[in-house]
Amino acid sequence: MSTDETISGATATADCDAIIVFDGTFLQRGQLRELWDDVIWLEVDRATALARGAARDAVSLGGEAAAFAAFASRYMAACDLSTIEERPAERASIVIEHTDPMAPRVIRLPGEPASD
């Protein structure tokens, strides 16, 4: 879906032993945090995150320049605020350095303490 609209009406069920994967930037916020058994945080440097987001959403945001401007001014500010308030890398059970998708590197596995 390419909008911020709430989706309602459609539901799905899964077996109690199913593994379900959710992907999203703000899924560790307070009201959702307790819903996850495990969280994988993909650590990416700011420039890469900005470039990936702008490239991904260029068509829906009116072109590459408009997407870059929107990400630089709005989306990255929301990410910064969320990172400060929610500390997603610290709370994640698995942390992977993912700036280069062809060479991901595990930073932390379950049971290991967060290092800062």
pLDDT tens-digit map of 41-77: 999 998 999 999 999 999 989 999 999 999 888 888 9
* pTM, 2 dp: 0.78
**Cα separation of the two ends of the chain:** 36
pLDDT at residue 83 greater than cutoff 80: yes
pLDDT of residue 107: 95
Give the H or E element holding residue 30. helix 30-33
What percent of the chain is predicted at pLDDT more than 70? Answer: 95
* Cα–Cα nearest to 93, from 20, 36, 9, 47: 36
pLDDT of residue 12: 84
Residues with Cβ within 8 Å of residue 79, at least 6 apart in sequence? 25, 49
Sign of the four-CA dihedral 101, 102, 107, 109: positive
Residue ranges of domains in the chain: 30-108
Q: How far apart are CA 99 and CA 63, in angstroms?
A: 24
pLDDT at residue 4 greater than cutoff 80: no
* Cα–Cα nearest to 38, from 106, 93, 112, 107: 93
Using pLDDT thresholds of 50, 70 and 90, give the confidence band for residue 98.
very high
φ, ψ at 113 (rounded to 5°): -75, 150
